[in-house]
A and B are shown apart, each in its own frame.
Chain A
Amino acid sequence: MGNEASVGKITIASDAPEHLELLLGNAAIARGLIEGGLSVAAAYPGTPSTEILENLAKVAEKAGLYVEWSTNEKVAVEVAAAASMSGLRAVTAMKAQGLNVAMDFVMHVNLTGTGKGGLVLIVCDDPAGHSSGNEQDSRWVVRAGDFPLLEPTSAQEAKDMAKYALSLSEELGALIFIRSVTRISHSSSDVVFGDKEQVARIPEFDTSTGFSPTPVNKTHVTAKQKLEKARSIFDSSPFNAYVGPKTPKLTIICSGTGYQYSRDALTVLDNPDSVAILKLGTTWPLPTGFLVQHLDPDSEILVIEEVDPHIETALKNWLYDAKPGGVLPKVHGKSTGHIPAVGEMNPDIVAIAVAKILGISFQPREAEYDERAQQFLATLCLERELVYCPGCPHRASFLHIKNLLRLDGNDGFVAGDIGCYSLDRRTGGQRVSKTLFAMGSGVGVASGFGKLGRFGYRQPVFAACGDSTFFHAAIPAVINAVHNNSDVIIVVLDNSATAMTGFQSHPGLPAGATAGSAVSVSIEDICRSLGCAVEVADPYDTKDAREKLWRLGQLKGPKIMIMRRKCGLIAFREDGATYRVWVDQGQCLGESCGCNRYCTRIFKCPALVWDKEVGKAVIDKAMCTGCGFCVNICPENAIQREAL
């Protein structure tokens, strides 16, 4: 998945102009960065941005790059900025939520400038939150920080923009934002390679100057001047385009995926000849010269973008200033209700809006077909919630936590966190996690609950935290809990990978983004150095794990439990099944057992299912990864295993 770098003999690092290759959007971005003379790349994994760094890492040696997985996004942008300040071209990539983590640095580098190298920040937003806790639109950040912004409409353009952004950053001495979205980053398309820019440089930091945001009254003026320079460059940018009649009735102004959806919408509407498309690839600052040149003053406007009305708002501001006292054109979009205020766009939303404005009819399918289809959907299609994979160690860990909470009987709960274990809140989990916010927030929130005892609070609190999350954002919260003597059990769910994003390394492992030595940092050594009680257990050793959890539960103050077992998917891929597992249906008592179908109703592994015909449990051989844990849970010992 996302395995794009190795394309026969030609890779994304090859000197192969005009070569055509089917590339994932993120791999295309990686290719563009290499074409643009990249030297340094640093990032923290986050869907849908992860494959940018992964693809760079695969060709790092060949392309002469330094590539690292950093502990978090703020550190990543700092590492990349150091390269730029030394005259090298550098990139960092992150998901929208990662940008929140990086913001403190980002909102200062706008004032300091980026030096003579070139610094590009690629943020991959996730409209509809396919793999995220929100659908925040990162483009507001560029307004707050006066950053020039590029928004690709396809994989090809993503590549071209990545290359261009590095040289533009060098020209302006400013950080350039590229904003992608899931449907660009995670779509593949045929991409034509370009020339590789020859950028041979010896890095050197000029100590006669320096980088500091103060005095702000001067640096902020410089940042605004850079933005104005970007505007004049963008006015003639090839990334902006106008297609349509000279005097259209309607002009669709669009960016990103909105361009593709607009084209498809006009196709399904049989290409009405009164509609033009004005595509913006440079969306901040608005290329107002380009707009003056191409926007017919009498045309109505429809703005198509994801997620917030970023262009729509800027466009209205500009029109108000550009036409003092004049007649302003109608601007349709999110503010008029033609486009939904939230969620992902698609061609149908655009088609419906265009049809409404033009007063034409639009019906993609016969009503009768639609009706039947909806009826089948309602009666025959069940909701399919995300679940832990078969063999996932978190399934066992949460079973142990729930067991302790039930034994304790004081209505305790888990403050959850971001990672695979956030699935505890779904149907397939134990549903003991009651809060879910940001990376590391489980420990921070729990640290707060653990100080409410003086007010009469009695509910025990666990904090959940993954191994990668521990390094990313939880350490300050762990230290906070220890320093302030908060009454909390912090459970580090260590599956030895950044699993949710596709098994990247992290500081706790002896591997980095590229081959060569990386130093592993021990989670338990850090925890023990803080002076609080620390236990380590394999969640598959039920007796040991439960005893240690129980023991910690008896102590006051902060306690740390490390549940360590390798991600089931990695284990299965590396070593195959450990056991052959089966249900001895002669021993399974079925519904009459009294266990309330513990195996299928409580444990909930997709590979351990109910055989309706005989009314007993059965292993689905197509799903089972042979981890063998489920033999522990049957009171009749009906689940059997044999080592392979």
Chain B
Amino acid sequence: MAGKDPVNIVVCGVGGQGNVLLSRLIAKAFVNKGYHCTISETFGGSQRGGSVMSHVRASHLEAPGVLIPRGKADVVVGIEPMETLRILATYGNPSVAVISNTRPVYPMSCIMGEKEYPDLASIKAAIRTLSGRAWFLDATEMSMEIGDTLLTNIIMIGALVATETIDLTFHEMEGILREQFAGKVADKNLAALQRGRVALEQAIA
């Protein structure tokens, strides 16, 4: 991504998964590093179990526009696999880097038995077809091991920085988490960040 300006990141998932916080933490790290950064979010009435996405754009030149143009994502961070694929359909391109959680959140039509959630292997294959590089991890499972599903998004950040696709380091994100959280909450978040990094490093190895 060296020299690319602005850097365009799409963060996506399902309302309630911590999409907004994930975007905000990355953006804070970019701003701390001297970047201009813009995040565009959808929340409010649109959060209840619906598809959500944030556009995070960082530039050395000026505050970037709020929306990424079609096909111009550099990195997609997906907290839900079907949502990751949905984003690629609009913002993907042959060189986009993708990191995605593999744990499905079932749409109501699947819970009701009207529709079937697609086979995870097919979704992963489609994501690989539409991207330059793709990494997968079950961040939800890892968060439950730590004891709080709210940490899924932090695990995703740990994995994201470990991919080295963006100009943010593990230590910089550690600093942001220490700024944002205190005491035991900070410890849990730092453990989640570490868990994500380890998971990604294992996936690569």
Contacts and interface: CB of A to CB of B under 8 A. Distances in A.
Interface of A: 1-2, 8, 20-22, 47-48, 50, 130-132, 154-156, 182-184, 186-190, 257, 260-261, 263-265, 267-268, 346-348, 351, 364-366, 369, 372-374, 376-377, 379-389, 420, 423, 426-428, 500-502, 597, 600-601, 604, 606, 608-610, 620-623
B142 to A, nearest CB: 11
Given A47-B44, A380-B123, A606-B105, A369 B70 contact: no
A267 B36 CA distance: 18
Interface in B39-81: 39-46, 48-51, 63-67, 69-72
B38 interface: yes
Nearest to B23: A188
Contacts of A388: 48-49
B65 A263 contact: yes
A472 B88 CA distance: 42
B93 A186 contact: no
29 contacts: A22-B37, A130-B45, A131-B46, A155-B63, A183-B40, A187-B66, A188-B27, A188-B39, A190-B63, A347-B69, A347-B70, A376-B129, A382-B82, A382-B110, A384-B14, A384-B50, A384-B82, A385-B50, A386-B48, A386-B50, A387-B49, A389-B49, A427-B109, A428-B108, A600-B112, A601-B112, A606-B106, A621-B144, A622-B144
B55 to A, nearest CB: 9
Contacts of A372: 129-130
Contacts of A384: 14, 49-51, 82-83, 107
Interface stretch (B114-122, B162-170, B187-195): B114-122
Contacts of A369: 71, 92-94, 130
B49 A183 contact: no
Contacts of A268: 69, 72
Interface residues on B, range: 35 or more
Given A22-B28, A183-B40, A260-B65, 19 more contacts: A22-B37, A130-B46, A131-B45, A154-B63, A182-B42, A189-B36, A346-B69, A369-B92, A374-B89, A376-B126, A376-B130, A380-B85, A380-B126, A382-B117, A384-B50, A386-B50, A388-B48, A501-B44, A622-B143
Name, among A22, A188, A387, the residue most crowded by chain B CB atoms within 10 Å (CB to CB). Answer: A188
A352 B42 CA distance: 25
B85 A606 contact: no
Nearest to B116: A612
B24 interface: yes
B48 A377 contact: no
Nearest to B92: A373
Name, among B28, B67, B85, B88, the residue most crowded by chain A CB atoms within 10 Å (CB to CB). Answer: B67
Closest 7 CB pairs of A and B: A131-B45, A47-B44, A260-B65, A377-B89, A365-B71, A387-B49, A364-B71
A263 B39 CA distance: 17
Contacts of A374: 89
B133 interface: no
B175 interface: no
A360 to B, nearest CB: 16
B71 A610 contact: no
Contacts of B123: 380
A347 B67 contact: yes
B104 to A, nearest CB: 10
Nearest to A606: B49
Given A22-B37, A183-B40, A427-B109, A386 B65 contact: no
B108 A387 contact: yes
A382 B117 CA distance: 8
B140 interface: yes
B185 interface: no
Given A22-B28, A189-B37, A264-B67, A387 B44 contact: no
B183 interface: no
B38 to A, nearest CB: 5
Determine chain B's interface SS by DSSP, over half rule. mixed
Interface string B138-157: 00100110000100000000
A407 to B, nearest CB: 23
Given A188-B24, A386-B46, A183 B67 contact: yes
Name, among A2, A383, A384, A610, the residue most crowded by chain B CB atoms within 10 Å (CB to CB). Answer: A384
Contact of A186 (B44, B83, B88, B179): B44
B45 A47 contact: yes
Contacts of B94: 366, 369
A59 B88 CA distance: 41
A264 B38 contact: no
Given A187-B40, A376-B126, A381 B48 contact: no
A428 B106 CA distance: 12
A615 to B, nearest CB: 11
Contacts of B109: 382-383, 385, 427
A154 B65 CA distance: 8
A380 B126 CA distance: 9
Nearest to A188: B39
Contacts of A385: 49-50, 107-109
Contacts of B122: 380
A604 B140 contact: no
A25 B185 CA distance: 28
Contacts of B41: 186-188
B177 to A, nearest CB: 14
B185 to A, nearest CB: 13
B113 interface: yes
Nearest to A385: B108
B65 A264 contact: yes
Contacts of B144: 621-622
B111 A604 contact: yes
Contacts of A610: 111, 113
Nearest to B17: A622
B99 interface: no
A420 B47 CA distance: 11
A423 B43 contact: no
B129 to A, nearest CB: 6
B187 to A, nearest CB: 18
B67 A8 contact: no
A383 B36 CA distance: 34
B106 A597 contact: no
Nearest to B18: A1
B113 A187 contact: no
B11 to A, nearest CB: 13
A347 B109 CA distance: 33
A182 B42 CA distance: 8
A95 to B, nearest CB: 9
B130 A190 contact: no
B31 A190 contact: yes
Contact of B31 (A22, A156, A187, A373): A22
A314 B6 CA distance: 35
A380 B118 contact: yes
Name, among A21, A22, A131, the residue most crowded by chain B CB atoms within 10 Å (CB to CB). Answer: A22
Name, among B24, B41, B110, B115, the residue most crowded by chain A CB atoms within 10 Å (CB to CB). Answer: B41
Contacts of B86: 377, 381
A428 to B, nearest CB: 5
Nearest to A617: B111
B93 to A, nearest CB: 6
